[in-house]
Amino acid sequence: MKGAILDAIKDLIVENFGLEKWMDVLENAGLSRTDVFTVRDDVPDETVLEVIKSISETLNLSPQEVIDAFGEYWASVYTPKVYRPYYRGIRSAKELLLKMNEIHRKVTENIPNAHPPRFEYRWEGPNVLIMKYISPRGLVEVFMGVLKGVGKFFNTDLKIERVSPDEVRIEFME
């Protein structure tokens, strides 16, 4: 997985709990206290999952709380800052979500081991979208966490509901 994911997780933890706690998280995950991950790195998926587990142990949060906090931070703080060009011309949560395949393809095209998620879309009505999440990683909870962050970033109320193992229904309350 791209190093950006761990870079974002680090920012989130440091901003909320301080650098020492982040170093504790790394150590508890079997990493070095001073490890740094950059947007260009390629990090094994297991390392990312170890770090998420370690955050939940070190900070006494449930895995779900960690995933929600990450998703929200990723979509409402980190990507608008670090991947700003991809937000150009996008004015709503709906517009961003419809560009997910294109954005993930572009962001990962130069990374040999990247396997970005893909999405299929089906409209149930003008403001009701079913998004099917396709990825061998099976991180549908992360997908839903990021969706909440998208709503927050655009200041839009989104009603998000899982309707099958890999499908989420999104109602845009505009």
Count of beta carbons in the 10 Å neighbourhood of residue 125: 8
- Using CA atoms, how far residue 60 sits from 10, 25, 73, 80, 125, in Å, is 17, 11, 19, 29, 41
Give least dist CB 160 to ligand HEM, A.
10
CA 169 to chain centre: 18
The residue count for binding ligand HEM (CB under 6 A) is 26
Task: Provide the mask over 36-75, with x wherever binding to ligand HEM is found by CB under 6 A and - wherever it is not.
Answer: ---------------------------------------x
Read off the tokens for 62.
Answer: 């449930």
Hey, which residues between 117 and 156 contact ligand HEM (CB under 6 A)?
Answer: 117, 135, 137, 139, 142-143, 146-147, 150
Give least dist CB 83 to ligand HEM, A.
4
Give least dist CB 42 to ligand HEM, A.
7
- Using CA atoms, how far residue 13 sits from 7, 56, 135, in Å, is 10, 11, 26
- 3-state class (DSSP) for residue 41: coil
Q: CA 1 to CA 34: how far, in whole Å?
A: 20
Nearer to ligand HEM, 62 or 110 (CB): 110
Point out which residues bind ligand HEM (CB under 6 A): 1-2, 4-5, 75, 79, 83, 86, 97, 100, 103-104, 107-108, 114-117, 135, 137, 139, 142-143, 146-147, 150
